[in-house]
Every structure is written in structure tokens, then in C-alpha cells.
Amino acid sequence: MIDASSPREAKIKLKGQGIFVSNISEEIPVGAPKDGGINLKDLFGKVKLEEITVMTRQLSTLIGASIPLVESLSALYEQTEAPLLKKTVAQVRDSVNEGLSFADALDQHKKTFPELYINMVRSGEASGALDVVLLRLAEYMEGQHRIRSKVRAAMTYPIFLFFIASAVLFYMLTSVVPKVVNMFESMNQVLPLPTRMLIAVSDFLGATWWILVIVFVGSIFLILRWKKTEQGSLRFDRIRMDLPLYGPIYRKISVANFARTLGTLLASGVPIIEALKIVKTVVQNRIMESTIDESIAEVMDGSSLALTLKKSGVFPPILIHMIGVGEKSGSIEEMLMKAAEAYEDDVETTVSGLTAVLEPLMIIFMGASVGFIIIAILMPMLQMSQIIR
């Protein structure tokens, strides 16, 4: 028995050992799906960005060491542990071995490798600098992963604290408060205003909480459906960009994504029109997509990219100025990368500052809410003690 990813590879390995076979059969490992079976990982699994990043950097190193592409892919296959990525690498290697270009082989796996990745590899193959392009790709994906991770990590604690606080308050208002309020029903006197307010909120939540849940879930469902429409997606992104606190952060992330992606593509030798078309699919912002569409048409007519972006009013003046300087000096890629770094640093600073403000605000809100409940419960008790005296 010989270990191989396909019958073709098994024959090649055996031939290398001086063994020639006319027929070969595949042995299915224990636990693997039989022919016709459904592999849930293949259907719903997804290769992680970190796995692709590591693979890309390793492949860049191997090719930079003058190791042929097929051998480099074989080396990656041997050391890759993630099953889905291992299978993809094997299929890409077999396609390249059969005569396809590396970019065309990757193009058969668009679920794993996005258009940006495929086009940069195609440009690297055409220019003979595939190792350099792969290194740029790895650095690009590392940058994307880093900014997302920092934003996610910074916002996780405030969001977690918010949900915990909401759950505690809901439990107190629907379970604890009604039991305590039963003590006051026999009192033949007017309850203090805070107590009446607390009872009203408790009764409302106790009677209508399931309605509120249905309304909340239904609203999310309708918003998602509306977002899928052409007009809805444009309006949704416009609202996100104009929201207080969140809006400036979302706008800066989108601008940084635009600048880094376009800079990486141009530095890899992708023509500006093709690069703009790819960037349009990456920014994930319909307002910017529309602006980039208009820019493509004007740049094709000979207009300056900085000038076309300035007309839209979507991109910040600093980015437009840096693009303009880059166009005049012939260093637009460098200027775009510097702009991306500046906006990414700004996002990190803004998110860190916002987190530093949100955490104490959440604690104050929680403390004030619990304090109000305690005061609303204690006030009738103090009245009762005064009556007894």
C-alpha cells in the first residue's frame, strides 16, 4: 500500500521506485465517507484565513528557494494538517501537474481562494516574480487578519458585559421583583413613584417578553431581507457610515481596506483598471462600490484616479491627496500602503479609546439599574417601618 492523494500520484510514486502497474485501486480509510456518501466538512467546511496565510508564506519561501512549483505544492501537501486545505492543495497540485497554470488551478477553487488572490498569482506568473507576489499576498492577509482580530478583541468584552447586564436585569425584573412586590399588595397606601415605576416595568416585561422576542427576531429577519435588495444595501451601508461612534470606525476600516487592497494589487503588477474591478468586490461597502464603478469608467477615459474619487465625496481628503501625490510621483502603490497603515493605526486607537469609555459606562449603567431596583424596593419597606412606629 502507498500513501497518495490520487491514483495518478500513486502511479508516479511507484514509477519513481521502478515499479510499473497496470491497475491500481483506492483504499478508503476507516471513518471516511464511502462512495456516494456526503462529507459534511466538504459541503459546509471552509478553509480559515490563517491557514491560507501560512500556506501562502510557506509557498513563497519554497518558490523563492528555486524549488519547482509542483514540488513546492507537494511539500505543502505533506506538512499541511488541515484536512480541507490538504485536499485543496492536492487538487491544485494535480491540476498544475496536468498542464494548467497555477492561477487557473486556483481558479477551480474560488470558495477557498478569492478573486484578488487568483489575479495576483496570475500577475506573479506573468512577471516571473511569483515568490514576491505570494509574499505580498501573505503580508496583505496577515494585515487584514490583524486589524479584524484587534477590533473583534477590543469589542468583545463590552458586548459580553452588555448581554450579561441585560440578562441579569431581565431576570431581576421578571423573577425577583414580582416576588418582592407581592409584599406591598396588602398595603393600603400609595407606593413611592420609583416603586410604581419598577412594578410597571416588571409587569410589562413579564406579560410581553415573548412578544418582544418575536418582534426582535422578526425585525432582524426583515432587515436582512431588505439589505439583500439593491436599494436596501445602499441605504444600509449609508446608515452604517453615518451612525455615531460606529460610523467613523466602519468608514476608516473600509478606507483602509480599499487602500491596502489597491496598493497590494498595483505593487504586484496588476493593471489599475483590473485592480479597481477586484477592489470593488473586496471593500464590502455598496457606497464605495458605486464610487469605484464610476472611477473605473473615468480612469478608462484618461482621468486621474484622485480626481474621480474626490468628486464622490465618499473618500476622505487625506487619502485623495496621497493618491494624487502618488500619481504625480509614480509611487501610488507606496502612498496607498502608507495610507492604509495610517488608517489601520487610527482604527486601533479609536477602538481602544472607545472600549476604554464603554467599559466604565457599562459598569455605571449596571450599578445604576441595580441601585434603582434596590431603592424602589427599600422605600416601601421604610414607609412600613415608620407606620409601625
**Given a cut of 70, is residue 167 above it in pLDDT?**
yes
Per-residue pLDDT of 67-76, as tens digits, reads 999 999 999 8
Distance CA 169, CA 365 (A): 11
The answer to which of 130-139, 189-198, 205-214 has the lowest mean pLDDT is 189-198
Range 215-224 average pLDDT:
91
Residue ranges covered by each domain of the chain: 1-37, 165-389
What is the predicted pLDDT for the residue at 140?
85
Which residue type occupies 363?
A: I
The answer to which of 21-35, 49-63, 152-166, 275-289 has the lowest mean pLDDT is 21-35
Query: Which of the two residues, 185 and 238, has the higher pLDDT score?
Result: 238
CB-count exposure of residue 130 (10 Å: 0-12, 13-18, 19+)? buried
Residue 16: band (very low, low, confident or very high) from pLDDT cuts 50, 70, 90: low
Distance CA 174, CA 164 (A): 15
**Given a cut of 90, is residue 267 above it in pLDDT?**
no
What is the predicted pLDDT for the residue at 219?
92
What is the predicted pLDDT for the residue at 43?
42
Residue 105: alpha-carbon gap to chain centroid: 26
Q: How many CB atoms lie within 10 A of CB 249?
A: 18
Phi and psi (nearest 5°) for 382? -65, -40
Per-residue pLDDT of 342-381, as tens digits, reads 988 888 888 888 888 888 888 888 888 888 888 888 888 7
What is the predicted pLDDT for the residue at 81?
85
Query: By C-alpha distance, which of 143, 365, 159, 359 is closest to 260?
Result: 143
**Given a cut of 50, is residue 35 above it in pLDDT?**
no
Per-residue pLDDT of 180-206, as tens digits, reads 777 776 666 677 888 888 888 888 888
Residue 388: band (very low, low, confident or very high) from pLDDT cuts 50, 70, 90: low
Residues near 321 by Cβ (< 8 Å), separated by ≥ 6? 306
Distance CA 199, CA 182 (A): 10
Residue 389: band (very low, low, confident or very high) from pLDDT cuts 50, 70, 90: low
Cell triple for 56: 501562502
What is the predicted pLDDT for the residue at 8?
60
Is pTM, for the whole model, over 0.75? no
DSSP state, residue 18: T
Cell triple for 378: 427599600
Rg (alpha carbons) of the chain, rounded to whole number: 30
Round the average pLDDT of the chain to a whole number and report it.
Answer: 82
The upper half-sphere exposure of residue 87, i.e. CA atoms within 13 Å in the direction of its Cβ, equals 10
Identify the H or E element spanning 102: helix 102-107
Query: By C-alpha distance, which of 177, 176, 192 is closest to 384?
Result: 192
**Secondary structure in 3-state letters for 156-224:** HHHHHHHHHHHHHHHHHHHHHHHHHHHHHCCCCCCCCHHHHHHHHHHHHHHHHHHHHHHHHHHHHHHHH
Range 137-148 average pLDDT:
83
Residue 38: band (very low, low, confident or very high) from pLDDT cuts 50, 70, 90: very low
Per-residue pLDDT of 53-65, as tens digits, reads 889 999 999 998 8
**Given a cut of 60, is residue 339 above it in pLDDT?**
yes
Domain 165-389 has CATH 3.10.20.30: no
Rounded to 10 degrees, what is the CA torsion of 376, 377, 380, 384? -160
Residue 386: band (very low, low, confident or very high) from pLDDT cuts 50, 70, 90: low
What is the predicted pLDDT for the residue at 29?
45
Residues near 284 by Cβ (< 8 Å), separated by ≥ 6? 254, 257
**Collapsed DSSP state (helix, strand, coil) of residue 238:** helix
DSSP state, residue 227: H
- Degrees to nearest 5, angle at CA 30 with 21 and 71: 50
What is the predicted pLDDT for the residue at 192?
82
For the four alpha carbons of 104, 336, 141 and 65, in that order, the dihedral sign comes to positive
Distance CA 275, CA 272 (A): 5
**Collapsed DSSP state (helix, strand, coil) of residue 384:** helix
